[in-house]
Amino acid sequence: MKRIKFVILAFVVLFSISLQAQQPVKPKNIILMIGDGMGLAQISAGKTYKGQLNLEKMKVIGLLTTYSCDEYVTDSAAGATAMSTGYKTKNVAIGIDCNGEKRETVLEHANKIGKSTGIVVVCAITHATPAAFVAHVPDRNMQIEIAEQIAKEANTDLYLGTGWGWFLPKSKGGRRNDTLDLIEVMKKRGYFYISKPEEFYNLDIKNVNKLLGLFAENHPPYAPDRKPTLAEMTKKAIEFLSRDKDGFFLMVEGSQIDWAGHDNNSDQILKEMADFDDAIGVALDFAQKDGNTLVIVTADHETGGYALVNGSVSERKVEGKFITKSHTGIMVPVFAFGPGAEAFAGFGDNTLIGKKIFEYLKK
């Protein structure tokens, strides 16, 4: 009888261990990095230019469809909303679904469950991609309203980017037709505000609970002429957010890969890809040391119909051709590293990003 009991006990223990092994590992921290306008040709060009990409360290790779509710070729608003909410929407819409219904974003949910949250971009924080994580409007061009939602309603712990003009009235050098000083509103809500690169570099985050850093009136210049860099802001954001024992969610955008595509500027694509990849390196360095951080790198769409028709690996240069000054409807790559990365292997849709992040945020 004792032998039978021992066998049964051993079976129960082994079965329990097996079940635990099958449970998906949920990350404590999630870093979502969006290369706006980044397709495979842009990545190939970036690799030729840099020699080796940090992106190559990410061994889980997939492809995502990007169409919106009403268009085969998405824009950044619909593409980012699909990733931030897990729902498709119409082109130009922010944070709402195809029927115009407001949808919670992964950043908002992370806030709700007690995680720290951040946005790091090289554009105005009211622009389409960052706005899709913190605002809800029918048209991405409503940047006046987006700024007001950010200032009065959003609970994001950190913003690093540009666009202070959208937060100030014209009487104070801003773009607003009303009299609202939304930077003062945010200061009263506990944000420490910086607007100069030297303030960023000299910042001691020890006593800062919420951070708002806006380093240009609207958008910053192309790389490498902007300071701070995307990598520097990403590093600062991770240092800031990782103080939270409950974890964090951070969205980082390489915003101007897209703009170089719109300009059909092949040389600038190389510089923007290098800038974005440097930020990816910062995120991966943290994730490798931390062991409990998921890093996802993807794009909202491809821009320019970019193709590499010639080049030189030894000279680190490419010859690029474009078929459009707008977006294209091709699938975009997704790369993942860390706990939960395997969910992004193979073919999927851009809504997979939001759905999986929501799943990982569930306690």
Supply 123's token pair.
Answer: 């554009």
Q: Rounded mean pLDDT of 178-196?
A: 98
Task: Decide if pLDDT at 10 tops 90.
Answer: no
Task: Say whether 68 is catalytic.
Answer: no
Do the strands 60-65 and 332-337 form a parallel or antiparallel pair, or are they unpaired?
antiparallel
**284 falls in which pLDDT band (50, 70, 90)?**
very high
pLDDT digits (tens, 9 = 90+) for 290-330: 999 999 999 999 999 999 999 999 999 999 999 999 999 99
Q: Is 129 annotated as a binding residue?
A: yes
Q: Rounded mean pLDDT of 258-265?
A: 99
The pLDDT score that the predictor gives to residue 101 is 98
User: What global pTM score does this model have?
Assistant: 0.93
Q: Is 36 annotated as a binding residue?
A: yes
Cα–Cα distance measured from residue 42 to residue 292, given in angstroms and rounded to the nearest whole number: 29
List all residues 6 or more positions away from 101 whose beta carbon is below 8 Å from its beta carbon. none
Q: Is 66 annotated as a binding residue?
A: no
Task: Decide if pLDDT at 27 tops 60.
Answer: yes
The pLDDT score that the predictor gives to residue 12 is 42
pLDDT digits (tens, 9 = 90+) for 191-245: 999 999 999 999 999 999 999 999 999 999 999 999 999 999 999 999 999 999 9
Q: Is 258 annotated as a binding residue?
A: yes
Among residues 85, 124, 79, the alpha carbon closest in space to that of 101 is found at: 85
Q: Pick left, alpha or beta for residue 305 (phi over 0 → left; psi -120 to 50 → alpha; otherwise beta).
A: left
The pLDDT score that the predictor gives to residue 354 is 99
pLDDT digits (tens, 9 = 90+) for 141-170: 999 999 999 999 999 999 999 999 999 999
Q: Pick left, alpha or beta for residue 304 (phi over 0 → left; psi -120 to 50 → alpha; otherwise beta).
A: left
**Structural domains of the chain, with CATH:** 4-360 (3.40.720.10)
List all residues 6 or more positions away from 294 whose beta carbon is below 8 Å from its beta carbon. 27, 29, 30, 31, 287, 336, 337, 338, 339, 340, 341, 360
Amino acid at 348: G
Q: Rounded mean pLDDT of 122-137?
A: 99
Cα–Cα distance measured from residue 194 to residue 35, given in angstroms and rounded to the nearest whole number: 25
Among residues 108, 138, 74, the alpha carbon closest in space to that of 249 is found at: 108
Task: Decide if pLDDT at 5 tops 70.
Answer: no
**25 falls in which pLDDT band (50, 70, 90)?**
confident
Question: 3-state SS of the chain: helix, strand, coil percent to 5?
Answer: 40, 20, 35
From the list 16, 18, 68, 76, the catalytic residue is 76
